[in-house]
Amino acid sequence: MKTNPAVQENKPIGAASKPSLGRQLRKQLTIQIFVWLGMAFLLVFSFTPMFGVIMAFKDYKISTGIAGIFTSEWVGLKYFHELVNDYRFPMLVRNTLAISLLKLVFAFPVPILLAIMITEVKQAVIKRLVQTFSYLPHFISWVVVVGIAYAFFSTEIGIINHALITLGIIHEPLTVLTDPDSFWGLAVGTAVWKEAGWWTIIFLAAIAGIDPGLYEAAQLDGAGRLRRIWHVTLPGMRGPIVVVLILSIGSMLGGGLVGSNFEQSMLLGNTINNDKSQIIQTYAFNVGLAQGRFAFATAIDLVQSIIAVFLILTSNFIAKRVSGTGLY
Amino acid sequence: MRKVQKGSAWLITASLMVLLLSACAGNNATPNNGGNAGETPAASGNNGQTNGAPEQVTLDLFVDQTWWPMKDWSGAVAEEITKQTGVNLNVTVATDDKQLQVMIASGDLPDLVVTSGQVKRMSDPDLSLAWNDLIAEYAPDWELEQERIGVNTAEDGNFYTIRNFFSTEAEWEEHKDTALLYTGGISVRQDIMEALGNPEIASLEDLTALFQTVKDTYPDMIPLVLNPPNWHRAYFEQQFGALSGFNDVNGQLVYSLNMPEYKDMYLYMNDLYRKGFIRAENYAYKSEDQGKQLMFNGTGFAYSWTTQGSDQLTSAAKEQGGHTFVNLPVRLTDNLKIVNSAVGWQGVFITKENKNPEASIKLMQFLQSDEGQKLALWGIEGEHWDYAADGDYPVFKYNTMDDAERVARGAFYWGLLIGSTTTEMRALYEPDTDATRTNKVVTDETQFIPAIGLVAPDADSDEQVVLTNIQEMIKSEESKVLLATSEEAASAAYDAMVEQANRIGLERLEAWANERYEQAKAQLES
């Protein structure tokens, strides 16, 4: 499928008759090899393992090896029943959806705003400094970010609590890390801090691609700075914004644009705030993988994948209707 | 130009194909290696014979412990074992904890397998040779204690291994002064105890009063720090006489959640929290270091951990803070309960693929003998250790706390293939420390109920799922009880936990456990 446009374009104009497929392939051998390797990669690493999905409907035990995936007994929807009947299920769904939605709402606009603000800064030094400092956290691992959060917010050693108490603003330390009610905010806040700068790069590239003539024209027409942003910059970024939005809705259950739902729940979650921090992925890990129940873990992830596919199809459909831009 | 391009493209494709194929082949080759490797050393064993030296056999051993530090059969101790038994081991250490299961699945097993996680699965006549048959045939002079056979007997009446980390009651009795058990304990700052006039702690009320005094006298200190994430309630469970998991109540097994004493224990711990002796954040800690740090930097007064705690904290604090710690008394109530239900940890299986069952069982016989245990666990007498003048414990000539030194001598780890806990524990004995004094009391107070240890669900069974689900549920829900703001709320949260456990299947699990318990008791008595 993918090769067709290339084939069409490379065909010498005015060729009398269509050359045979074999000759055509041989002619484009170098290009074809790249495509084949890509396809082989997808086939081996993305499509082949999918047969393992049938595990979700089977009484599979790891001791029966790979062959056991086919030979073990069918159990129908047993694992799905177990998942839905777990006392934590409503809480898991609520937390997964709430954290994902909050991240979409708050994390999506931030890089766009940041990109516009950075473009509007005229001093090159400050511009570069802001850009560097905002995307550096992307390279810090979550384990370290959680360590930093601990150093800031801990009730025992956190510098924020120390400072606030010393200044007399509060008398009891803030329990940001353990209070269940502050987990969602903590998750969204740290994720935005870590990833916003990184996504800014894409939007900065989009802004750089806007024809400067449009700005000059707008200026001549008397448009101020805000008007130029509204009428030139934002429409110029529409393509990337829609694509990134669709992608982040598709991966919403993993945290969307800023990702890392699993890492955060695993590392920032603890026995005190787990009413608000446990999500479907951590459940799949604790109850499925960590206990060697691969079939159950597969069933849990299958449910999540189906929701994700539904989300990406819906968002793409809506985006196409509204803006005319979509993934395909 | 075009030709060159074409040629290089083919070259790239070809080399990538080779790479892919070799990667696939590599996967297949791994299990085969174990099987093939066995044949070559067997041939070299024959060479030994023609040279007139004692007959030497090389057996393949798979170690199902990813952290196992002994990657090969070397060092003075290994050489000495070979000298005594004529057996060389060709060692393969697991690269991940599923490797053995996959080997079982593919039917590709080496001569010997040592495992702790797959004991039930390996105790299978299709996979392993029964030791009772092997002993009758090749080592009739090996007299194993009935107790030891009992805890290792599989459901078909045979025993396929003898696990280490178990001792008979007679062995515990024989070495009761030097082979000491440890259990949950609380260690406190000695200097502060002295400053407070060493108040006597003989009851839970005394303990509460002590924490209150510390809180009043040193308002900046945390009276009680709990070791995260394990052992935090062990000391209190013992005092209330309800241990997490199954308890023997008048001959019946009762799961801790169903015991009124267990609820009392939770309510007491909640009371400690509400009185301000424990910080809420403590329950959010995930690593031991977070708790210990509070002890080293002088913030914490008492640390709930194990009875080894006073020695370990004092020794670690030498470099940080310099405080000295002492243990609280083992017994504060009449309900005190300390149970040892150990039935062993890991065991060697002689597989059906074994090429020399005679040498294999004789190797096990040697390693289980008193001489073999001391050689493998401690080292060579005179060279690596000497007996202490007044007792039956070793004084080492090398640093046994340093793993590198043990590995270089080939000592300790091969002693974990089989052997007795008492031999292992005697190596840890240090006269006259605070922990030793506490552990002597612990050993005296301990009841031995191995039948409880035999009530373990099979891997992948429904009971296993129920049990782990209940354990997971307690782990995630208990903080609601421990951090409740009133006694009523704590009580309600506890009841909710019990209800949840019943919904998961606690009743079914208890019924199953009691059935198993009766079988286990019968098995041990026979």
* Model confidence pLDDT, tens digit, residues B120-159: 889 989 899 999 999 999 999 999 999 999 999 988 889 9
Average the pLDDT over B379-394 and give the result.
90
Determine the Cα–Cα distance for residues B106 and B95; give it in Å rounded to an integer: 17
Cα separation, B132 vs B139, whole angstroms: 10
CB A244 within 8 A of CB A199: yes
Claim to verify: residue B465 and residue B405 sit in the same structural domain: no
- Reported ipTM: 0.74
d(CA A241, CA B379) in angstroms, rounded, equals 69
Query: Which residues of chain A make contact with B285, given a CB cutoff of 8 A?
Result: 270
Residue B307 DSSP label: T
Q: Give residue B47's pLDDT.
A: 39
Residue A68 is nearest to which of B105, B286, B475, comparing CB atoms?
B105
Residues of chain A contacting B, Cβ within 8 Å: 29-30, 33, 37, 61-65, 67-68, 87, 154-156, 175, 177-178, 270-274, 278, 286-287, 291-293
Kindly determine whether residue A62 and residue B121, on different chains, have CB atoms separated by under 8 Å. no
Residue B14 has a pLDDT of: 53
The CA-CA-CA angle for residues B478, B479, B481, to 5°, reads 70
Confidence of residue B60 (pLDDT cuts 50, 70, 90): very high
**B29 pLDDT exceeds 70?**
no
User: To the nearest whole angstrom, how far is the Cα of A114 from the nearest Cα of chain B?
Assistant: 35
Interface test with A, best of B266, B476, B477, B497 (most A CBs within 10 A): B476
pLDDT of residue A318: 84
- Closest CB to A271 among B465, B476, B504: B476
Cβ atoms of residues A42 and A50 within 8 Å: no
Same domain for B88 and B154:
yes
Asked, for residue B179, whether it belongs to a domain, the answer is no
SS (H, E, C) B24-35: HHHHHHHHHHHH
Cβ contact B284–A63 (<8 Å)? no
CA distances from A204 to A219, B36, B215, B219 (A): 21, 60, 57, 54
Angle, CA B341 vertex, CA B335 and CA B346 arms, to 5°? 155
Q: Are residues B374 and B464 located together in one domain of the fold?
A: no
Please tell me the pTM assigned to this model: 0.79
B251 and B362 assigned to the same domain: no
- Mean pLDDT computed over A172-184: 89
CA B470 to each of CA A29, B251, B319, B505: distance values in angstroms, whole numbers, following the listed order = 60, 23, 41, 8
Q: How far apart are CA A199 and CA B63, in angstroms?
A: 47
User: In this structure, is residue B321 part of a structural domain?
Assistant: yes
Regarding whether B478 and B415 lie in a shared domain, the answer is no
Residue B444 lies in a domain: no
The answer on B191 and B137 residing in a single domain is no
The pair of structure tokens assigned to B73 is 């059969």
Check the CA dihedral A293-A295-A300-A302 and report its sign: positive
Are A157 and B300 in contact, with CB atoms under 8 Å apart? Answer: no
State the number of CA atoms in the 13 A half-sphere of A302 facing the CB.
Answer: 19
Cα B110 to Cα B59: distance, rounded to the nearest angstrom:
8
Cα radius of gyration rounded to whole Å, chain A:
25
Rounded distance between C-alpha atoms, residue B365 and residue B371, angstroms: 11
Which token pair is B1? Answer: 């130009």
Is position B274 within any domain?
yes
The answer to whether B107 and B352 are in contact (CB under 8 A) is: no
Q: Which residues of A232-259 are buried (b: 16+ CB within 10 A; e: fewer)?
A: bbeebbeebbbbbbbbbbbbbbbbbbbb
Residues B102, A278: C-beta atoms closer than 8 Å: no
Determine contact, residues B349/B115, Cβ cutoff 8 Å.
yes
Q: Note whether residue B443 is domain-resident.
A: no
Residues of A in contact with B483 (CB under 8 A): 272
How many distinct structural domains can be found in chain B?
2
Mean pLDDT of chain B: 88
Give, in order, the Cα–Cα distances in Å from B412 to each of B21, B61, B362, B375, B419. Answer: 42, 17, 20, 9, 11
Q: How many Å apart are CA B11 and CA B9, to the nearest integer? A: 5
Q: Which helix (H) or strand (E) covers residue B59, if one does?
A: strand B57-63
Is A292 within 8 Å of B460 when comparing Cβ atoms? Answer: yes
d(CA B135, CA B144): 10
Residue B27 pLDDT level (bands cut at 50, 70, 90): very low
Please check whether residue B314 lies inside any domain of the structure: yes
Given a contact cutoff of 8 angstroms between Cβ atoms, the answer to whether B59 and B354 are in contact is yes
What is the 8-class DSSP label of residue A254? G
Residue to test with chain B: of A181, A272, A275, A287, most B Cβ within 10 A:
A272
Q: CATH number, domain at B266?
A: 3.40.190.10
Alpha helices by DSSP H, listed for B297-402, are: 309-317, 357-368, 370-377
Q: CA A32: distance to chain centroid? A: 31
* H-helix segments, B378-461: 403-409, 421-426, 434-445, 450-454
| HEC assignment per residue over B457-509 | CCCCCHHHHHHHHHHHHHHHHHHHHHCCCCHHHHHHHHHHHHHHHHHHCHHHH
Q: Averaged over A248-267, what is the pLDDT?
A: 86
How long a stretch of residues is chain A? 328
Chain B residues in contact with A33 by the CB 8 A cut-off are 9, 12-13
User: From A155, which residue of chain B is nearest by alpha-carbon distance?
Assistant: B281
Per-range mean pLDDT, top range of A9-18, B431-440, B459-468:
B431-440
**B499's tokens:** 């209800």
For residue A147 the two structure tokens come to 């360590």
Angle subtended by helix axes B309-317 and B288-296, to nearest 10: 70
Range of the domain at B372: 44-170+344-424
B301 in the same domain as B360: no
Which value, in Å, is the radius of gyration of the alpha carbons in chain B? Answer: 27
Say which residue the tokens 């729940």 belong to. A265
Partners of B448 in beta bridges: B340
Could you give the domains of chain A? Answer: 1-57 (no CATH), 81-323 (1.10.3720.10)
**Pairing, β B325-327 against β B184-189:** antiparallel
Segment B159-213, tens digit of pLDDT: 999 999 999 989 998 998 899 999 999 999 999 999 999 999 999 999 999 999 9
Q: Based on the fold, state whether residues B200 and B318 are members of the same structural domain.
A: yes
B387 and B471 together in one domain:
no
List phi, psi (to 5°) of A158: -65, 135
The two beta strands, B112-115 and B325-327, are unpaired
Model confidence over B236-283: pLDDT tens digits? 999 999 999 999 999 999 999 999 999 999 999 999 999 999 999 899
CB contact under 8 A, B12 and A177: no
Q: What is the residue whose two structure tokens read 């421990």?
A: B482
Which residue matches tokens 């245990």?
A: B373
Domain final position from B384, B405, B424:
B424
* Neighbouring residues of B38: CB distance < 8 A, sequence distance ≥ 6: B59, B60, B90, B110, B111, B355
Judge if B55 and B101 occupy the same domain: yes
pLDDT surpassing 50 at residue B304: yes
Q: Is the peptide bond before B229 cis (omega within 30 degrees of 0)?
A: yes
Q: DSSP character for B416?
A: G
User: Is the residue at B39 inside a domain?
Assistant: no
Q: Sorting pLDDT into bands at 50, 70 and 90, what band is B30?
A: very low
Is the pLDDT at A245 greater than 90, yes or no? no
How much of chain B, in percent, has pLDDT values that exceed 90? 71
Please give the pLDDT value at position B54. 56
User: pLDDT by residue (tens digit) across B467-519?
Assistant: 989 998 998 899 999 999 999 999 999 999 999 999 999 999 999 999 999 99
**Mutation choice for B interface testing from A26, A55, A270 by most B CBs within 10 A:** A270
* Residue A49 DSSP class: G
User: CA nearest A286 in B: which residue?
Assistant: B472
* Same-domain status, B164 and B292: no
Q: Tell whether the model's pLDDT for residue A157 goes beyond 70.
A: yes
Spatial contact of B389 and B338, defined as CB atoms under 8 Å apart: no
Query: Within 10 A of A143 (CB to CB), how many other CB atoms are there?
Result: 10
Mean pLDDT of chain A: 86
Q: Which residues of B touch A30 (CB under 8 A)?
A: 5-6, 9
Which residues of B make CB contacts under 8 Å with A? 5-6, 9, 12-13, 16, 98, 101-102, 104-106, 121, 279-281, 283-286, 294, 299, 459-460, 465, 468-469, 472-473, 475-476, 478-479, 483, 500, 503-504
| Residue B303 and residue B191 share a domain | yes
**Which of these three, B403, B424, B445, is where a domain ends?**
B424
Task: Flag whether B488 is in a domain.
Answer: yes
Check if the beta carbon of residue B425 is closer than 8 Å to that of residue B179. yes
The model's confidence at residue B366, banded by pLDDT at 50, 70 and 90, is very high
